[in-house]
Structure 1
Amino acid sequence: MLKIIRFLYIAFIFILVLGCQRQDSKANEQDLFQVKSVKDGHSKKIIFLLIDSLMSQAIDQGIKQKELPAFQYLINHGQYNKNMVSSFPTMSVTIDSSLLTGSYPNENHVPGLTWFSSDTKKVINYGTGPMEVLRHGVDPTLVDGLIHLNNKHLNPKLPTIYEDLAKRGLKAGSINGLIYRGSRDHKLSIPAWIHGPTSLPKEIPVQGPDFLALGSLTNPLKGIKNLPDDITRRIGINNQYSIETVKHLIQANKLPDFLFVYLPDLDQKIHKDGPPSLNGVKEVDQQLHSLLRSFPSPEEALKEVIFIIAGDSGMTRIFPAEKNPVIDLPSMFKGYNVLSPGENVTDKTEIVLAVNETMAYVYKLNRNKSLQDIARLLTTDPRIDFVSWKENEWMYAVQGATAKMLQYKADGKIKDHYQQKWAVKGDLGVLDLKVNAVNNSIVYGLYPDVLERLSGALHSHKGEFLVVTAKPGYELADQSSPTHKGGGGHGSIRQEESLVPLIICGTDQKPQYLRIIDLKAFLLKLLSNSK
């Protein structure tokens, strides 16, 4: 994802604006002494590798062509699920929050890569793209991403897996994960070329798991192992940094009970080339092979560790430029006062946009207009998939071009596969639902777990707003949003962008349901019983 989340591009922005300078700050912490599991040597540990934009189609193609031996080995010796349901919107910051808290955004309170806070009257942007970040402001982007995301925006009343493990006396670590809130004190060291021209201090106190590695901002191995963490390598937010850090913990016999590892590199290749992108997956396979070789043998690796490998979201191929794939949202609100990136909200502001690639939030600040009035404007464009909003306990979804409508609410008499209860009325085809009259159940089609996931987005934060999604092949844009013509995009709730692979090796146990929000409970159970 060129979502530049994990502030990959934020680093590049500073390079462009301030010039290349080397970070000379020394590591302020050495937490290797406190990270090793205190359990006996017969207890299995978990290494969870989250591979950005990994898709089962690419895995299957690579295995068929005999080009992914590490993936082949892990699949042959474990469980391979191709259809785990991600969070919504399908953007990494929201997905990671859902994975590590076991909840959708209605509970974890991280609505997307960009969203509007009705409390502060400001657009929150964790780093969508260079031009948009520059217009929004580098300073607020860094403050939101480095300070507010974990300390304030992520629901403080909802424990992360790191906090739950600490209460159980178990050790945990995070390598390059942007969502890392835990119970142990750490410091992010901000280089002079960042804190000098911004409001960021030299050091930011944060709380994370026992072992916290976040590129050069907090590198516990500095002075111990030479890692690729300079500004030419995205200040360490890259696959090689992540893999080499894991390998050191393995070889030094310092693995915690649970280690989360984020591998970001594949995402950019698929954004550029479109799905499926086998070249990037082949590089990941080589890195997995290198990781397995850190043990005496691959067989020994599976005896000592439970490996879990997952994608975070899929991607849809975006049409080339000649097919007009970019839906320019501001142009659809002629006659409205639409907030431009970087502007402050005033009493005259009527519409605020927060675009998450193939999904967007549209906020209504004008009390004289209804959400349905704004929805009508949007659904006139046949490239819009559907527009949704909430009124009291009911949620509404209107199909693009046809204007067909579905209404639904929670706690009805119809159950879905996940034992969630709903009441639905109107045109079920809007969200591709079917009702089985025999057992009074809902069957999902093109939109996995859509009722709960859409409800999660609609209840993720305060304000009057709509959720807008684009049809496959198209993406939404504000004035300076990054676009991916001829490449790949995600954000929406369709299965192409929502279904991701899950590989589990070293245990026969399975999560209750194949959803990313069910992994936290599964991991905690494994760590309680692993022998």
Structure 2
Amino acid sequence: MRIQKILFGMLSLVLITVMGCQPQQPPEQDLLRVKSEQGATHKKVIFLMIDSLMAQAIDKGISQKQLPTFQTLIEHGQYYKDLVSSFPTMSVTIDSTMLTGAYPNVHGVPGLLWYSTEDKKMVNYGTGPMEILSQGIDPVLTDALIHLNGEHLHADSRTIYEDLARRGLKSGSINGLVYRGTSEHTLTIPDWIQGPTSLQKNMKVKGPDFLTLGALSNPFDGTENLPDDLTERMGMNNKFAIEAVNHLIQADKLPDFLYVYLPDLDQKLHKKGPSEFEGVKKVDQQLQSLLQSFGSPEKAFKEAIFVIAGDSGMTQLLPREQRSVIDLPAMLKGIRILKPGEELKDDTEIALAVNETMAYVYKFKPDRTLRSLAEIISKDDRIDFVAWKEDDWIHAMQGSTYKQLQYKDKGSLIDRYKQAWTVKQDAEVLDLQLNAKTRTLDYGQYPDVLARLSGALNSHKGQFLVVTAKPGYELADRSSPTHEGGGGHGSIRQTESLVPLIIVGTNEKPPHLRMVDLKAYLLDLLANHNQKAK
């Protein structure tokens, strides 16, 4: 579930009780400083993150001749169907991984919902209306708009925007919620939100040279009439993003690197499931509009490099009558669970942070072990596996079978990414293929699972489990949003982890097909093509 969609939902909740008009934005300098200084022969890089785009939808549409733009892009470039996402396969974690080139153990953003032992509170960037109301609109907005980029994203994990600024290159972000850079910007909170929150009207943030965040930061305000009113989700939509890119192209103001987030497809797939196709056709039309802003697709491919990716896949969820929702509080009956919006008390035993098809389960009492909690949860035949840290080892327990695996980094087994591991017990738990003779390790249903799971378990302080659901099921706390009969993600299996990647305008190939490796690849693209231009 994408945070920009939820951010609009939070603003709409406020509007139910408070009505007013949106103020004019303070003047921004983005359009004055954004244009690349590298010259016309220097190819710009446009990265389009299409929420929940899946290769199966692209292949289906091309075979039925309903996606002409995707077909053109693929015919002129590289097309991969197995880019490995981050974990959890949720919004801010994926964006943070792509933009910093690191997993959450380094960048520090564990998921859409997680518990901070340092602040003794649940961090919620915006999950669902009921959880937002329970936790409070003010803390959720504060975490999403201030703390995410200002504190939670580790300062020593440099974003691509910060690295490009060091190299003297220009960058921009259109509607990406993870945007930390070196240029100062102002987020303007509408008057009708001011009443029920303590947020300042104008908040200074650091971002790339060019930054839009819907109506909260719209450098085109007063010059271009982009769709950013309440009926258009405050600009958190594909139309706003594409029109913003088109304007930069036509005004010859493209930065060297531009990140563009397109959220609309995710909402349709959550509701109808991964087989929904109308949203993909709409994206195809929008991409056609972008290419035509250059004059033609051929001209676009000469002047820019396009990198188009999905962020996570979707699993088809069963209908409610088939027990699709795994009620964690019911499973842990008799254990004192922290309620949404409640402060930690002396008798609180555990807390739940549910990210759709995965969850963190935190323990606060020394007399209850993580293993004992894992055994309770693993009884349910809808649980895929439960994992936790113990000393230097990571333990994984398979749901319903209680089979176990242990592993740690460093060792004699080398995987396809040149990572070294030590693995003990039942490799079947994480579908690993071990070859003692060649000292190699390969992955099955869980791509890059050892590094990605370790990244989640080392992403923040505390004693906690990682719980994942089997395909068709999703986890839930008391007020979690659910998607019975629709689509869900968050887990680490192939269906939710493997996404398409299309690259047009360069013959340079990524060294590895992982989200975590894209930042280095993009920086190399910009360096190499800049060198060729000279």
Q: Identify the TM-score tier after normalising by the shorter chain.
A: over 0.9
Residue 227 of structure 2: aligned partner: 228
CA distance in 2, matches of 1:205, 1:5: 23
Confirm or deny that 1:144 pairs with 2:149: no
1:324 aligned partner, one-letter code = R
Confirm or deny that 1:181 pairs with 2:194: no
Confirm or deny that 1:312 pairs with 2:311: yes
1:414 aligns to what SS in structure 2? strand
Confirm or deny that 1:12 pairs with 2:8: no
Contact 2:406 2:423 in 1 (8 A): yes
Cα gap change, 1:403/1:3 in structure 2, threshold over 3 Å: closer, same or farther?
Answer: farther
1:113 aligned partner, one-letter code = L
Residue 352 of structure 2: aligned partner: 353
2:79 aligns to what SS in structure 1? strand
Contact 2:2 2:90 in 1 (8 A): no
Residue 511 of structure 2: aligned partner: 512
Confirm or deny that 1:493 pairs with 2:477: no
CA distance in 2, matches of 1:22, 1:412: 61
Contact 1:27 1:219 in 2 (8 A): no
The alpha carbon displacement at 1:8 in A equals 2.6
CA distance in 2, matches of 1:241, 1:296: 20
CA distance in 2, matches of 1:470, 1:235: 34
For 1:97-136, what aligned pairs fall within 5 Å after superposition?
97-136=96-135
The alpha carbon displacement at 1:46 in A equals 0.4
2:336 aligned partner, one-letter code = N
CA distance in 1, matches of 2:363, 2:310: 34
CA distance in 1, matches of 2:501, 2:146: 31
Instruction: Please identify, of 482-491 and 276-285, the stretch whose mean Cα deviation from structure 2 is larger.
Output: 276-285
CA distance in 1, matches of 2:525, 2:93: 24
CA distance in 2, matches of 1:361, 1:25: 41
1:96 aligns to what SS in structure 2? helix
CA distance in 1, matches of 2:61, 2:485: 22
Contact 2:25 2:217 in 1 (8 A): no
CA distance in 1, matches of 2:300, 2:349: 57
CA distance in 2, matches of 1:231, 1:23: 10
CA distance in 2, matches of 1:277, 1:60: 14
CA distance in 1, matches of 2:461, 2:418: 27
Residue 159 of structure 2: aligned partner: 160
- Normalised by the size of structure 1, how large is the TM-score? 0.99
CA distance in 1, matches of 2:456, 2:85: 13
Contact 1:54 1:312 in 2 (8 A): yes
1:509 aligns to what SS in structure 2? coil
Residue 527 of structure 1: aligned partner: 526
1:79 aligns to what SS in structure 2? strand
Cα gap change, 1:512/1:287 in structure 2, threshold over 3 Å: closer, same or farther?
Answer: same
CA distance in 1, matches of 2:236, 2:404: 43
The alpha carbon displacement at 1:184 in A equals 0.5
Contact 1:53 1:314 in 2 (8 A): yes
1:88 aligned partner, one-letter code = F
Residue 250 of structure 2: aligned partner: 251
For 1:363-374, what aligned pairs fall within 5 Å after superposition?
363-374=362-373
Cα gap change, 1:146/1:75 in structure 2, threshold over 3 Å: closer, same or farther?
Answer: same
The superposition leaves residues 372-428 of structure 1 with CA deviations (integer Å, 9 ceiling, x where unpaired) of 000010000000000000012100000000000000000111000000000001110
For 1:192-211, what aligned pairs fall within 5 Å after superposition?
192-211=191-210
Residue 326 of structure 1: aligned partner: 325
Contact 2:132 2:140 in 1 (8 A): yes
Residue 476 of structure 1: aligned partner: 475
Residue 80 of structure 1: aligned partner: 79
The alpha carbon displacement at 1:25 in A equals 2.2
Confirm or deny that 1:92 pairs with 2:91: yes
CA distance in 2, matches of 1:68, 1:100: 28
Sequence identity percentage: 62
Confirm or deny that 1:64 pairs with 2:63: yes
1:318 aligned partner, one-letter code = L
Instruction: Please identify, of 431-440 and 404-413, the stretch whose mean Cα deviation from structure 2 is larger.
Output: 431-440
How many residue pairs get matched? 530
The alpha carbon displacement at 1:521 in A equals 0.2
Cα gap change, 1:3/1:145 in structure 2, threshold over 3 Å: closer, same or farther?
Answer: closer
2:294 aligns to what SS in structure 1? coil
Residue 410 of structure 1: aligned partner: 409
RMSD: 1.0
Residue 397 of structure 1: aligned partner: 396
1:348 aligns to what SS in structure 2? coil
